[in-house]
Each structure stands twice: as C-alpha cells, then as structure tokens.
Amino acid sequence: MKNRWERLADFTVLCAWIITSITMVVIAYTSYGMDFRGYFAAARVLLSGGNPYDYSLVASVLLDVTGRAGNNPFYYPLWFGWFITPLAWMPFEVARAVWMIFNWAIWIWGLIRVQQLLDWPRTGWRSWLMNLLATFIFAWTTWKFEQTGILLFAIIVEILIAFRKQQPYRMGFYLALALIKPNIMLLPVMAIGAWLMRNKNLRPVAVMLAILAVLVIMTTLLTSDWYQPFFQPHFGQGLTETLDGPDLVTGVRLNTTLLDWLKLFLVPRGLRNIIYANIVIIGLFILIVTVWKSKSMMQTTAMSLLIAFVTTPYALQYDYPPLAIVLFWGAALSNYAKSNTIPSAIILFIASVLIWERPISDGFWIVLGLCALLVWNWKMIPVKDFPPNLL
C-alpha cells in the first residue's frame, strides 16, 4: 500500500509529464514547424495526379499554401505520401494540428507500451519521471520539426510487442511500416528479419515482404512515373544542401551523424572518411555477430538501432525517438543489475546534451551516451543472465 506522500509524488510527476508534453506540442505548433509542409505538399501533388518526387511541383504547392518554397523535397517511399493524402484534403493549418495531436498521442501511447513491454519501471512517479526525461531528450526536437521519428518509435514498440505475443502477421505489418525512413530503419529491419529467419520464424518476414510488394505495386499503378525524377540531375541535392525551392541553394546541411560530429573537432575530411569507414566495418561486424549469436530479440533491436544511427550517413536529431527504446532497456538492465550510479550519470549526461548543444551535430553525443550505457550494462550483467522480460 502506498503512503500519502508517495501517492502525492505519483500525481505530481504524472501532471508534470502530461502538462510539459502538451506545452511542448503547443509551442512547437505556434513557434516552429518545418517538415510537415513537405508531407502536405507532396500529398497535394499526388491528389492532383502529379509526381511528388518532382520538387518543382512540390515547391509550387508550398508557395501557394505557405507562401515560401523552403527546403522540403520529398524523399520518402511513395506509399507514405499516399498515407498522408487524407490530411491534404484539409486546410494546411488544420492538417498541421491533426499531425501534431497524432504525434503527441502516439508518443504518450508508445511510452506506456514500452514500459508494459519491459515491465519496468513500476507504475508511479518513477515511470512518469522516465517518461518526462524521454520526452525532453527525444520528443521535443521531433515535435519542433514535425518529423516522423515518433511514428517510427511507436512502430518499433509494436514490433517488439507483436513478437512477445507471437503475432507474426501483426509483426510483419509493422516491420513493413518501419521502412518509412530507410536511411535509418533499413539496417534494423534487415537485422530483425535475419534474426527471425535464423530462429526459424519466417512468417513475419514473409508478411513484411508481401505487404511491401503490394504497397509498391499499388502506388506504382497510381503514380506510374514516380521513379523518373531519380535520374534527373541534383535529385538528392536537398539531403546535403539547404534549398529554397528547386533552383536556389542557401547553405550546406549539417546532420547529426558521425561524419558531421567529427567535423566539429576539425578532423580533416580524408581522416573523417577513414574513421567512418572503419566504424561502419566494425559496426556491421558487431551486428552480424549479434544476429548470429543472440537469443534476445530486444538485444538485437537495440544493437541494430544504435549501429544504424552510428553508421548512417544521413540522420538528424529529430530522427532519434526510436533510441528511446534503447534508453529504457538500458535503464531497466541497470536496475536489474543493481548498478545505478554510473548509468544514472550517463543518462543525465544524455539529457544535458539538449541544454548545451549548439550545432545540431552535437546531438550525436546522445548516441555515444547510449552506447556507453549498454557497454556498462553488459560489463555488469552477462547477456545469458538477462531476465525474461528484458529479452
């Protein structure tokens, strides 16, 4: 039975989490906003029968709807553009509000679900405090940029829950949806698929491939020339440079990746590439060993997410919400190992990054901090001794 003070703490921290998250969403909606413009314009282009990968068409819609073109080329799978089309029937600001509310709701839902999955922490002020911390570290930046990172987080949580509940069709469905952002999710999806096949669990992989095939075929029938802009000059220019429409370059993009993080320390370009190539080789080797030897779906997922964010050549801090799963899992392992001092210090350091970071590439310290958290846990507790709820 909880005493009066613990019940008061539970209520206070719960209110702090909910009020803070709502406040963040309201501030993001009224003062920020960026990438939903691109989704909305691409969906409008699709509804008019155009090709969303033709940035001149997207920029024209952006100018008409928002008054500026900006840097919003569409680089997502075509089927994601069609998923957004219901929002494109709405007025732009109404659609933005729906998108923000949707992202707030699935973030809250995803945090509750991941704690149920791990059976940690016990419901009360400790769980609400972890949710508040994760919201500050991961959700705030994503809400500001109106990005898809929170959607990816919720999808991965559902993959893990479907695996735990032995629901192969549901798992395959969410594995397919995870490829909304291949630049960060292709490696984790491949690792999870390979781990499932190694463990003779083929049905989720077959379902995933079937769903992807159907999505590609259906959207190709709807937009038969979707691939043609890929072969035009400067198609991927928006990934490396800041644009204001298809013809005006306004700057160089700075990403939250290893390469741009090394650039902060004035590492020469040639040496950066050598370091990056070696890290990619080491990371892929570690992931292959994990897939081959691990008996833990959770370990495979966490490792694949970390290695994906370490090795991807293109990601920004607003893509980081899937790493909330790594944070919760690492913290749960620390609690099980009764080794909380160092992990708590690492988690506080990770949270501090948002306070002192200046260029967005500083956010890569979050990935490094999570790597340190898992290394510490594996030093303290062998994988074979992980409790069932953390497998």
The token pair that represents 205 in the structure block: 């992989």
Confidence of residue 1 (pLDDT cuts 50, 70, 90): low
Q: Mind listing the pLDDT tens digit for each residue in 317-331?
A: 999 999 999 999 999
Asked whether the predicted pLDDT for residue 142 surpasses 90, the reply is yes
Q: Distance of alpha carbon 281 from its chain centroid, rounded?
A: 23
Structurally, the chain folds into a number of domains equal to: 1
Q: Would 370 be classed as within a structural domain?
A: yes
Residue with token string 């900006």 = 70
Mean pLDDT of all residues in 34-45 = 96
Q: Would 347 be classed as within a structural domain?
A: yes
Domain of 338? 105-226+257-390
Q: What is this structure's pTM?
A: 0.96
Residues 6+ apart with CB under 8 A from 173: 207, 208, 211
Q: Would 138 be classed as within a structural domain?
A: yes
Mean pLDDT of all residues in 108-123 = 94
Q: Would 10 be classed as within a structural domain?
A: no
Q: Mind listing the pLDDT tens digit for each residue in 119-130?
A: 999 889 999 999
Q: Would 343 be classed as within a structural domain?
A: yes
Q: Would 64 be classed as within a structural domain?
A: no
- SS3 of 88-132: the string is HCCCHHHHHHHHHHHHHHHHHHHHHHHHHHHCCCCCCHHHHHHHH
Q: Would 244 be classed as within a structural domain?
A: no
Highest mean pLDDT among 251-255, 363-367, 378-382: 363-367
Q: Would 81 be classed as within a structural domain?
A: no
